[in-house]
Structure 1
């Protein structure tokens, strides 16, 4: 018997030793697979990078997780207490793993016959979020315990709690307590009351289940449980517990979305930083300081959008989004998800007759009246106005409507696109950038990525070259039919004016003011194509140009950005600015990663030439194709551009402290519509934008050249005169140049 006992005891010790050895080998092996806790010394939270405008206002948050890390000192004591009370009451006593808590939870779960309490500590929960997957396996739990033990021995309790409060998910898109305070209560975490803190503390266990906007009753029960645990742990007294438990939950009805303005500009900036500096700013918590003016940007977006909506009404009704016989309603709503940002509503046609349409708008009945929707003639038809709803709609069509003053109006998403760029001619700062009707519809940035024929927008480059080559503002060129060779074996070309008329002898000023094609081509022929291309290059045009005279009237395809910066020359006495939009990039430790300053200006023209050209461009607005801009109470120079068959419409306006360009057209190069010129399809967006922002701009005169003098010119003879008995105007001339009126046939 003794021998048997002896062998049994020995066997027991051997087995125990082997099991222990295997256990420690297993632990050692798992430990070697785990990440180093020391990495936490340089730990950075995943948080959105913030793009700021020139006044340090947030333009956009770039990231996948809404998180705003705060130091533990900014977190109210009662929120810390609430989290500890409900999640890990022995947090300040255990070493990362609470064995007593595990035993207690095990007993409670056995008694309840189900899992009612977990044994994970705050440290274990943090480890799981930082390093591990949420899978429920023993191996993962062991890894979690090892890491929690290591973490507890490496960081202080306060640091662990701070990391937990900033890292875990609280529902409604909020990561960390600061984001949770904002999305649920619309305030900072430091401003939370005790009952609000208790609600937030109860969320990490099951954010979807206890979310007050989803399950208000369960949220209330969970909050009160947290309050009771705070009472049990001595953080609040019984009276506080009872009073706070009676309070209703009041949250903000809708969680604010991550800020997202100026999406084309933001995309432009992020791509620029990534390409030039190899920095990916997403989720890094960087601050990117830019030159954008948010007030200008919002005005620009509104102006481009409204201009395109107005244009789409002139074009006619393109038709419904679809018909429920062919496509599911939810599929259509998903496809056109961005209509919410436009203030439109989906509607289903229930009944159509000549004068009215009965609609179902998300369960509500509405009515369209023909009297208020006559613009909706079928697209491409010869009708002036719609005279019968049945020509455009049928039952079960899905359409868009807009509510205004208790009436419903048929509307549509424009098929044309538009772009706007506004810059400072003083240092090249970008004030506003709109790359299209809606970034959610198309991310293609038409300011920088689109190359379109510019039409008459190119002419000021030709006239600048002419003035520098000795022609003056009064040079006369004979406007008459001309036939030109397109080049060897390319046939012939007979250019015409927009009006399909010819005007005889025309001064350079008149020709540019009224955008005469034939005069411009004759002038270009005298100058030579090589000269024009050389000046285009000086103006910053890098897009390739054809080697023929057609470039003088804008046959070249050029970006809006190139043209706007080219026009900055006329506001700067011949000096061209270069794009400047990123001022600084700072990381979340305050270290400057990128710092830029405006580029040096580039000399393009003599100051005297630029002075004379700005005078002509001002006349374009006063008396020519840019007259619509006269409503703006400032001195403005500008030029319209319209391409063949009305495929592109342009306008660039020049003021001493801002230059703004607008483009309108179809992406697939279809004609915009008859008579949809630059002055009709692009200029209104410029006017709307400039009227909205002009009061932000200090009044400033165009700069003048000391080498230019104004002389009185007889409007009939185009010669300098002293007589007051004739019609005259004061015109600018170089001081040391001929003032004679040169005639060119």
Structure 2
């Protein structure tokens, strides 16, 4: 008996030593190729890029993996207990490897002939998820075991669990438990019920098979099994167990929906981040704060949406998008599933037509569309004509028509259609170029083409202020008289004749420069450009940020035939709004890392605040540097100072002239806003192919463009004042609501003098119709007696002596 015991004893020792030698050999062979466990402490999980408004509202999220890492201290104990009950109930006691689990897995392999489970502990899964592939092989399993042993030596149990719960894939692009809680329940893991936590804890084993969205029955079985394990292991009491078991499966898909609709802004921010960081922009968890306040962006969205729909409905109804007559409800439902909403306009199929309106089927159920919302729908013939007014709903729609309806706040629906016309809006802070709102089209889902940044169109008369600015900076005054009379240009080499005219085809004779601008007289603009010289004027205008290649080198430049984007126009107009300084538009205000560290803060060149408006930039910069360097004061980063490109007095006088456009000219509709600080200008190109309005006060400069992507007429009665201006008014009216009037301060060197309206000279006492006009101190006109009646007032400057110019 003793000899038998000795035999078994020595046999055990031999087997043990053999296993020890095998494991030691495997370790010595494999360990040189194993990664460093220490790297787990500094590992960077993939976190998506998130873009926010300036007031912290989510605009968009970019990245393949939805992940929101959570600290161990923030994980609810009930979830830890649910997870360990499901995955590794011996986690607190083993050292990375659980022999009983491995033996169970080995027994299953022997019995079935293939691997059914890996016998992995949570520590082994951490090793696999962070360092190894999902390949099922003995060498990979050995590496997993060795790494698990090393992980247990280097990290605490809490650290291992934190790594595990933040890495695991839990279905529907959710990585980590916090992201899964958001995706399935729309709230943090800390706010879930016990049953919901058990549901999340059941996902690591098979995210697709136990997914509550894909298979509610199987996921509930898994959840209830985990709750039973928790009760059996003493982690919850009987009352908690019974209450959790009774809770229904209430998971639903929660996409991290934007809090503010700003898709064009989001795409601009994404592109800039990729330009800065490459593909890491999508994975490093950057938090981007833009310059866009949510309230202004929502105002811009509403203004463009309502303005384009109003234009579209003025020109009639183009008919249904498709027709499915005689189909069943099931077929209609299938067809609706293929459609998607466009800028809030929902697809619907007409199921019944009566005298009160339409019954329709939407993607969410049945609805009614009132006849009163359909009366606008005259048949569209072309942009200039429509059919007769409809007398009843059947004149507009038939059963089976696929139409668009617009949900209202009271739950009702309006009859509508998706406009074919497009538009763009850009609003900037004129003091530093911060983009305050931007809309690049009617709907991003319809077209991601950003017309605000990419569409080069002719600005028409909204470009004239740049020519007038050049004139005011080169000896002309607001009182200078210029002849508004017919003019003919002949090119003797090409045998071409150009006879420009005013849009009303009338002529007013000698007219003041101020009046010519607010009445938008084309011939005066041409004469100003001719007098200044095209080359000289282009050199001047290009300082506003325009590319010279986009400015035609001929007299048509005065009529706005350049090809420019709304952003370029708004940027140029900012110079008038801020008193003569060139700014550069920017969107990203701050970039933060995944840990909340600030990586970038914008410091754009800005209009100096600590210096007078007419202080040279060099002096202003010196003043700010001196303040920062003053003894006893904290060091502050020097504010970059914008370059002055226009005399502040020129900007001030031009602003007063552009205010007259609203008071007396083509922008008179804006008087309805009841403000005294608005300046602006309409723009309409030939055949009304483009309609513009640009305007500002000292807070915001905003440009609106409207037109078709493939240029065609907006209609013979459509202009900048009818299409673009209403959009501008809706936006600026909301943006400035409750704000006091804000205009640029009057700079030094401005005089206000009484002027004779007939001569443009200083008025004598008792002159009839005399009015006050603004002048630079060195440009004050003489009196009649000083020059005599034989001298023509407002004599134009000599033309440029450069090379010959094209006429058209």
Task: Give the Cα–Cα distance (whole angstroms) in 2 for the partners of residues 18 and 245 of structure 1.
Answer: 49
Shift of 1:659: 0.8
**Aligned match for 1:550, one of 548, 556, 561:** 556
Q: Distance in 2 between matches of 1:597 and 1:427?
A: 9
User: 2:377 matched to 1:375?
Assistant: yes
How much has 1:512 moved relative to structure 2?
A: 0.8
SS in 1 for 2:452: coil
Greater shift in the superposed pair: 650-659 or 149-158: 149-158
Kindly tell me: are residues 59 and 492 of structure 1, through their superposed partners in 2, closer, same or farther at Cα, counting changes over 3 Å? same
Contact between 1:401 and 1:408, CA under 8 Å: does it hold in 2? Answer: yes
Tell me how far 1:403 sits from its aligned partner: 4.4
Task: Please state how far the C-alpha of 1:22 moved relative to its aligned partner.
Answer: 9.8
Counterparts of 1:415-564 in structure 2, within 5 Å, are 415-485=420-490, 488-489=493-494, 491-542=496-547, 544=549, 545-564=551-570
Check the 8 A contact 1:169/1:176 in 2, yes or no.
yes
Bigger CA drift: 368-377 or 592-601?
A: 368-377
Does residue 1:645 correspond to 2:695, yes or no? no
> Any conservation in 2 of the 1:227–1:245 contact (CA below 8 Å)?
yes
* Aligned twin of 2:730: 688
Residue 233 of structure 2 is matched in structure 1 by: 233
Partner of 1:130: 130
Give the equivalent residue in structure 2 for 1:345. Answer: 346
Q: Deviations over 1:189-213 (max 9, x none)?
A: 3344444433322233334444445
Contact 1:620 1:627 in 2 (8 A): yes
Judge which range, 403-412 or 167-176, deviates more. 403-412
Task: Provide, for residues 16-55 of structure 1, a one-character-per-residue CA deviation record: whole Å limited to 9, x for no partner.
Answer: 9999999998887777776554543431111122323333
Residues 609-634 of structure 1: per-residue CA shift (max 9 Å, x gap): 11110100111111111122222243
Residue 116 of structure 1: CA displacement?
9.3
Are residue 603 (structure 1) and residue 644 (structure 2) matched? yes
Matched, 1:631 2:703: no
Offset of residue 589 of structure 1: 3.5
Quote the Cα distance in structure 1 between the aligned partners of 2:169 and 2:219.
16
2:185 and 2:254 in contact (8 A); partners too: no
Report Cα offsets for 1:644-674 as digits up to 9, x if no partner: 1111111111111211111111111222222
The answer to whether the 8 Å contact 2:576/2:651 transfers is yes
Residue 702 of structure 1 pairs with residue 741 of structure 2: no
1:295-317 deviation digits (Å, cap 9, x = unpaired): 11121122112211112112322
TM-score (norm. length: structure 1): 0.87
Aligned-residue RMSD, C-alpha = 3.8
TM-score by length of 2: 0.81
Count of paired positions: 731
Unaligned runs of 5+ in 1: 1-13
Partner of 1:4: none
Q: Answer whether contact 2:582 2:645 (CA < 8 A) is retained.
A: yes
Q: 1:138-194 deviations in whole A, cap 9, x for unaligned?
A: 665555445444444443322121011112233454322222333444433334444
Q: Deviations over 1:312-358 (max 9, x none)?
A: 1123223332344999978975775343xx33332234577999666
- The alpha-carbon distance between structure 1 residues 542 and 237, as it changes in their structure 2 partners (threshold 3 A), is same
Counterpart selection for 1:659 from 683, 701, 707: 701
Aligned to 1:68: 68
Q: Are residues 325 and 372 of structure 1, via their aligned partners in 2, closer, same or farther at CA, if it must alter by over 3 Å?
A: closer
Mapped contact 1:421–1:564 kept (Cα < 8 A): yes
Question: Does the C-alpha gap of structure 1 residues 275 and 105 become closer, same or farther in structure 2, counting only changes over 3 Å?
Answer: closer
> Quick check: 1:476–1:744 contact (8 Å CA) kept in 2?
no
Quick check: 1:737 aligned with 2:779? Answer: yes
Q: Return 388-397 or 490-499, whichever deviates more.
A: 388-397
The corresponding residue for 1:292 is 292
Instruction: Indicate the SS of the match to 1:187.
Output: coil
Q: 1:162 and 1:18 mapped to 2: Cα distance?
A: 37
- In structure 2, list runs of 5 or more residues that go unmatched: 1-13, 606-640, 783-792, 798-808
Question: How far did residue 488 of structure 1 move?
Answer: 4.3
* 2:448 partner SS: coil
> What is aligned with 1:573?
579
Comparing 414-423 with 106-115, which one deviates more in the overlay? 106-115
- Deviation of 1:728 (Å): 4.6
C-alpha contact 2:469 2:654 (8 A) present in aligned 1 = yes
Task: Decide whether the 8 Å contact of 1:514 with 1:620 is kept in 2.
Answer: yes
**Secondary structure at the counterpart of residue 281 of structure 1:** helix
Q: In the alignment, what sits opposite 2:719?
A: 677
